[in-house]
Amino acid sequence: MRFTKAIVPITLFVLLMSLAAPAQKRYGRAAKPRPVVSPIDTEALKGLLTQQRERPLLVNFWATFCDPCRDEFPDLVKIDKEYRPRSLDFVTVSLDDMTDIKTSVPQFLDSMKATMPAYILNVSDPEPAINLVDSRWQGDLPATFLYNEKGELVYKHIGRVNTAELRAAIEKVVSRN
Amino acid sequence: MKSRKLSILLASLFVIAGAVFAAGARAEGEVPAPPAIGSTIEDFTLPDVDNKDRSLKSLAGKNGTVLLFIAVQCPVSNAYNERMAKLAEDYQSKGIAVIGINSNVAEDAAAVKAHAAEHKLAFPILKDPGNKIADRLGASVTPEAYFIDANNKLLYHGRIDNARNAAQIETSDLRNALDAALGGKTIEKTEAKAFGCSIKRA
């Protein structure tokens, strides 16, 4: 009898919770859209790197499966927030699988509060894209390249970025104020 | 006596400076340059997943050997598990041996053994403590392949094929190199950039 008495409130509680949980999830999704990740092929990447521009450009190649990439990302987000108002353009290019375009890649960017334009390399063969960026780069991640407003490569780093070194390189190409 | 002390001091300074330089280079993620195509890979000995020492010589195939740097946790390397198992199976009868090398500091022999059993990787896999062989061969990612002939001459270095997704394979660079060598033909593409997860060095 005591058991029956206990089971009723427990069942009611579980029922209420199961109704409440999806509602909260739906609300969460509607309130905050995930970052948009755009596919980019070798030609479009070439265009991005060589187009006429008036601002310096920082490009970070990364992937969700790459530990040092995830490790350095908070520093890169800080750099973006700090230097974008000082005329730096910053884009990220993920080398994850295209099937991750709507899942792990935007999820990670969202968790990092990253707002820079985000791309995912959409190629069946990454070698031409890697060679286009830097023929000496083996494709190991992360890899970070800084171009001045004339499109000249002024800094590159393969591996986890040294934040102080990157900041110093950016300071040389961004506006002073 | 004074000059002897001075030379000891200078030698010590040189060693310290060398160590600092080496540490600095590693901290920046620099990987030693790989040997040139055509150079000879010296024999080496590494422990297998049962901690038994195995030399390259003892595992080599009579027509050549493929050294594959692989990982337990890397999704790119894992996307190649079936292809690597099939490669070893297909070329065993042709006298080419496949040897896996795991240089990741965080993946111990037990994890490598369990992973190989789970994914039916039947070829021998060696642990590379301190990434000595990865450094010697300039291996930077997983998966990354080296094909050497029966005299340990490096014939091919780089990726297995162009695509992580098996449905998108357009060029099977490693297989092309093996087939050319077996047929006595010139290997057209001796290097192709390997794409994958960086090797987690010690």
Domain ranges (residues) in chain B = 1-30, 36-198
Suggest the residue from A41, A62, A138 to mutate for an interface test with chain B (most B CBs closer than 10 A): A138
ipTM surpassing 0.90, yes or no? no
Mean pLDDT by 10 residues, chain B (202 residues): 51 43 42 95 98 98 98 95 98 98 97 98 98 97 97 98 92 98 98 92 90
Residue-wise burial string across A113-134, b where 16 or more C-beta atoms lie within 10 A, e elsewhere? ebebbbbbbebebbbbbbeebe
| CATH architecture for residues B36-198 | 3-Layer(aba) Sandwich (3.40)
State the amino acid at position B157 in one-letter form: H
The Cα angle at residue B135 between residues B130 and B137, in degrees rounded to 5: 135
Please give the structure tokens belonging to residue A154: 């002024």
Cα nearest neighbour of B169 on chain A = A124
The answer to whether B163 contacts A124, with C-beta atoms less than 8 Å apart, is yes
Which residues in chain B are closer than 8 Å to A135, comparing Cβ atoms? none
DSSP B105: T
Interchain CB contact of A71 with B (< 8 Å): no
Token readout for B93 is 């009868």
| Residue B182, Cβ density class (10 Å: 0-12 exposed, 13-18 middle, ≥19 buried) | middle
* pLDDT tens figures, A97-108: 999 999 999 999
Residues in contact with A89: Cβ distance below 8 Å, sequence separation at least 6, in sequence order: A53, A55, A56, A57, A58
- Tell me the CA distances in angstroms from A108 to A37, A71, A73, B101, B187, one per residue in order: 11, 12, 10, 30, 42
pTM of the model: 0.79
A65 → closest Cβ in B76, B163, B171: B76
Give the side-chain half-sphere CA count within 13 A for A174: 22
